[in-house]
Amino acid sequence: MRVLITGGAGFIGSNVVRECLARGWAVTVLDNFTTGYRENLPSDANLRSIDGDIRDASAVDNALGGVEAVFHLAAAVGNVRSIEDPREDSEVNVLGTIRVLEGMRRSGTRRLVMSSSAAIFGEPRRLPIDEAHPTEPDSPYGVSKLAAEKHCLCYGRLYGWQVTCLRYFNVYGVNQRYDAYGNVIPIFATRLLRDEPLIVYGDGEQTRDFVDVEDVARANRCALEAGISGPFNIGSGVATTINELAALIQSCAGRSATVRHDPARPGEVRRSVADLAASRRSLAYTPEVDLRRGLGRYFTWLRSLDRAVQ
């Protein structure tokens, strides 16, 4: 089987690439390499890489040649970034997604796994968050991912496609670079290796559901193989406070740092943890990597990068 992975050179996308190649599938990657890295892609005879943007219909059509299924991961990511530039956020996440869907319609490709986000929920009314939870996003990013998800599910109903939308919680792991826009684990880890203080926004008692990218990549493959349409949560099912994360990340790295508290940032929820009952039941998805083990593996990878300690 040949699959297309949009954003395949990115953090999550590159891990999905490896998961698919390990399955023996032929993989086409479409990426404009603005946030993706060519070195994230392995050298493999079954891998074809195309330099292009999902907003470019001709690039999408080219990438879809001979493709039986699409993993759509290309996106503008981050709450803070979306607040600073909501137009770019929606152009990529909404209009870019429509370009992919229209390309699939033209090519006859009928299977799609779309990467959505827990940001669509906003501040939760109940915990854990299940798929039926109200969607009231608190940032343009959450709004654009919700719109993209709705477009994908709509196309699935219109044309009889298999469409699975995976609502990721806080993904971390190998190939995730430092990002000043809010990916807390690479920020903490990189600052720790540089002997810089860890900055916690607010009191640090806000909770997040951290899930290792290896589990997320496996969830993508499980979603395609399950043959079931609909939205599903992908997380660890464990709530961790940012204060707990700061302590654990120092323990895993074997070094200490000053922890500084700055004012809370707008557009960020107070509590978050996934209900995984539906994804366990329908996708056979069960998280396997706990946070301590995942952080240990992440530090091993991060220390291999010269840029991590510069």
pTM of the predicted model as reported, rounded to 2 decimal places: 0.95
41 within domain boundaries: yes
What whole-number distance in Å separates Cα of residue 230 and Cα of residue 283? 11
12 within domain boundaries: yes
Radius of gyration for the chain, computed over Cα atoms and rounded to the nearest angstrom: 18
Number of H helices, E strands in the chain: 11, 13
pLDDT score, position 78? 85
Neighbours of 100 (CB within 10 A): 28
pLDDT score, position 257? 97
- Whether 141 is catalytic is yes
Q: How confident is the prediction along the chain (310 residues), in pLDDT tens digits per residue?
A: 999 999 999 999 999 999 999 999 999 999 999 999 999 999 999 999 999 999 999 999 999 999 999 999 999 998 888 999 999 999 999 999 999 999 999 999 999 999 999 999 999 999 999 999 999 999 999 999 999 999 999 999 999 999 999 999 999 999 999 875 568 999 999 999 999 999 999 999 999 999 999 999 999 999 999 999 999 999 999 999 999 999 999 999 999 999 999 999 887 889 999 999 999 999 999 999 999 999 999 999 999 986 544 4
Q: Is 45 left (phi over 0), alpha (psi -120 to 50) or beta?
A: alpha
163 within domain boundaries: yes
CATH code, domain carrying 49: 3.40.50.720
- Determine which one of 37, 141, 172, 201 is catalytic: 141
Which run of H or of E encompasses 232? strand 230-234
Structural domain of residue 47, as residue ranges?
2-171+212-237+274-288
253 within domain boundaries: no
How many separate domains does the chain show?
1
82 within domain boundaries: yes
pLDDT score, position 120? 97
256 within domain boundaries: no
